Structure 1
Amino acid sequence: MTDAMYSDDFLGRLEASLRAALPRWGLSPDSDVKLLTISENATFRARDAASGRELVLRVHRPGYHSRAEIASELAWLEALGRDGVVATLTPVPLADGTLIADLDDGGVTRHAVAFQLLPGREPAEGEDLPRWFRELGAINARLHAHAKAWQRPEGFVRKRWDFDAMLGEVLLWGDWRAGLGLDGEGRAVLEEVAALLKQQLDAYGTGEDRFGLVHADMRVANLLADGDTLSVIDFDDCGFSWYLYDFAAAISFTEHEPYIPALQKAWVAGYRSVAPLTDAECEILPVFIMLRRMLLTAWIASHAETPTAQALGEAYTHGTVALGRAFLETHARTAA
């Protein structure tokens, strides 16, 4: 991605392409269209004043997910809704019954999908986050049980979020070594951390009881609280990884905060209210937290033009090094 993705010209062109396609979802091209977020993809909200109908529309960036990967995400979403596993967005078909539209963006084909709106708002940091994380733990347990039992449709394909994809040879979100502001001393610390993470994850393994289809990005920004209901949105990064990685993803960008142990305790309690979770499994959660932290350090470096990366900047990298030192003090000693 480049800074051009955040220019007024780019956003105007993207909105025009989307607006021209609105009738395919039964909305007027004169609908009110508002940009909600832009990161990997651009997400818009469209409201047709004549009918009162509203949709959330996600326009995918080229070169990240294939059409088959997007179709697979939507297949899981539909199954989760049908089976009553979690409150989440419902995909909305086009007039021809398909779920994925192709938009022309200056000769580049972009895939777009639509969803029904859900009520609620992101839980605020000052609110009772442990309460919501207890509910999130229960949701995770149900999701994981569903993923283990669900018969995936033929052609189902999603990315594999293993060590190679995050810190090894594949690097789906960039290289942590390019971390903003990372110096030689910090790099040496994180090299040692990466080696230890690989050792621990190799020992933990990828058996069917611990590795499968997960949300992989269930952070607070992807939660909607409405009364006593917690909904989960944005399955764009769902794929195959360790089930316990879902907790690490849930605390993205806040791994260093002093309230994280309370959130972990609440999440574990919620998970155990639905499915077993052993003490040994809980003890490996810090491994996944460190893994996610290093992955996000790489993401910030490779997406430096995004608002999130610009807000966090070099301070996040420095925090990663500090967490890495603490991780080595605890886990290298344990490994020895």
Structure 2
Amino acid sequence: MKQIVEQALALWGMRDAKWSLVAARENHVYRIDLGQTAYALRLHRVGLRSDAELRSELQWMAALGEKGVGVPTPVLSTEGLYLHLLQGIQIDMLGWLPGRPLGATGSGIDHEDRTGVFHTIGREMARLHKISDDWSPPPGFSRWSWDRPGLLGKTPLWDRFWENPTLTAEDQALFLQFRKVADHKLRHLESKLDYGLIHADLVRENVMVDSDRVWLIDFDDAGFGFRLFDIVTTLLKNLEEPDCDLLREALLTGYRTERQICTEHLDLFMALRAATYVGWISSRLQEDGSDLRNTRFIETARNLLTRYLDTTRINGRNQ
């Protein structure tokens, strides 16, 4: 990768910059230091996103940043472009953000004022939604959709969760029943639900905290979707926290300082979000640590899907 990084630095007029690899997950991310200023150079995984999708992501982030939302700032190359292609690899540059991640899976929340930071996350999420609704995407804007087909269709965005090869027969029956019930419910609800551009991955690792400010990073999964989906993505990873209910209330209260949202169907979306992870891990079962994650994802989904279906049956009998 050394040759590609050096070619990329030349495109951004940073030949003399120092660089080091800081992350190698879906994308390879390098920290670039030029004088007193730092940047993040991203080398995207081949085939993960189209050029149009990546340009759209960068255009959207730039628009959000201009309106004051805490997001990475895309940096134009010397040719005035956000995105370049080098040896078949898509490359872009972002401003480096201060602070630290709110936490990581399995390590808890790294913040003294837990409810305070969730209030702030909720407010920033609402601002992201509000500003996105007021923004007119440029021609050619392209991002995927976390809509009903994207969640429950024949080819969901994160794979067919009901076909995870490690599911027991009992679990598969549960997942299939949930898919049927949830699809029926969403068919009647989708036109009434708040829908638009969402981040779709505001988990602890993707919230940078700097004093009383938060920054929302990693827009890889961002696209069009139900706003409740954004909210439950943040809540889902904190179900085991002792103050889970307080964190949920803080997030929703913070959100409602900027815009209103109906949370009547929050439990449905909690179950939907849990199911997506069971699909996502299906194609990654050979990766290190996947066994534990797969078991955790299935257990969480089993509990939430069962609870949702039980509630649906009770409500059906009471109507």
Q: Show the 5 A alignment for 1:324-335.
A: 324-335=305-316
Is the counterpart of residue 240 in structure 1 residue 224 in structure 2? yes
Deviation at 1:324, TM superposition (A): 1.8
Aligned to 2:116: 131
User: 2:148 matched to which residue of 1?
Assistant: 163
Q: Is the 8 A contact 1:123 1:129 kept in 2?
A: no
Partner of residue 102, structure 1? 85
1:112 aligns with 2:86: no
* TM-score, normalising length: structure 1: 0.85
* Amino acid paired to 2:259: A
Query: Does 2:27 match 1:44?
Result: no
Does the residue aligned with 2:263 lie in a helix, a strand or coil? Answer: helix
Match of 1:223 among 207, 213, 224: 207
Q: 1:26 aligned to 2:13?
A: yes
Assess if the C-alpha contact under 8 Å between 1:256 and 1:319 holds in 2.
no
Letter in 1 for 2:315: T
| Alpha carbons of structure 1 residues 255 and 194: separation in structure 2 relative to 1, 3 Å | farther
Deviations 1:10-48 (A, max 9, x none): xxxx35422332221222377232132413x22222234
Of 254, 265, 278, 1:297 maps to 278
When the two chains are superposed, the root-mean-square deviation of aligned CA atoms in Å is 2.2
Task: Give yes or no for the alignment of 1:59 onto 2:43.
Answer: yes
Structure 1 residue runs of 5 or longer lacking an equivalent are 1-13
CA distance in 1, matches of 2:209, 2:250: 16
**Which whole-Å deviations, capped at 9, do the CAs of 1:253-295 have from their partners, x for residues lacking one?**
4445554332221111111112223xxx212111111111100
Per the alignment, in what secondary structure is the counterpart of residue 197 of structure 2?
A: strand
Alpha-carbon distance in structure 2 between the residues aligned to 1:282 and 1:300 = 28
**Equivalent in 131, 137, 157 of residue 172 of structure 1:** 157
| CA displacement at 1:161 relative to structure 2 | 0.9
TM-score, normalized by length of structure 2? Answer: 0.89
> Is the partner of 2:233 in helix, strand or coil?
helix
Q: Contact between 2:126 and 2:255, CA under 8 Å: does it hold in 1?
A: yes
* Between 184-193 and 22-31, the greater mean CA deviation after superposition: 22-31
The residue aligned with 2:130 is 145
Q: After superposition, give the CA deviation of every residue in 1:35-93 in whole Å (9 maximum; x if it has no partner).
A: 32413x22222234xx3442112222222211111111111111111122x11100011
269 and 66 in structure 1: CA distance in 2 versus 1, 3 angstrom threshold: same
CA contact (8 A) 1:45 1:54 kept: yes
Judge conservation of contact 1:173–1:299 (CA < 8 Å) in 2: yes
Change (3 A) 1:335 1:272: farther
Q: Distance in 2 between matches of 1:148 and 1:81?
A: 15
Amino acid of the structure 2 residue aligned with 1:42: H
Aligned residues: 311
Aligned match for 1:90, one of 61, 64, 73: 73
Is the contact between residue 202 and residue 216 of structure 2 (CA under 8 Å) also seen in structure 1? yes
Aligned residues of 2:200 and 2:229 also touching (Cα < 8 A): yes
Shift of 1:306: 4.5
Matched, 1:191 2:142: no
How far does residue 240 in structure 1 lie from its aligned partner after superposition?
A: 0.8
CA deviation string 1:159-214 (max 9, x = no partner): 0111211232222221212336311000111111111211222222135x611111
Structure 2: runs of 5 or more not aligned: none
Report Cα offsets for 1:315-336 as digits up to 9, x if no partner.
Answer: 3213322322222112332244
d(CA) in 2 for partners of 1:214, 1:254 = 20
Corresponding residue of 2:304: 323
- Counterpart of 1:312 in structure 2 is 293
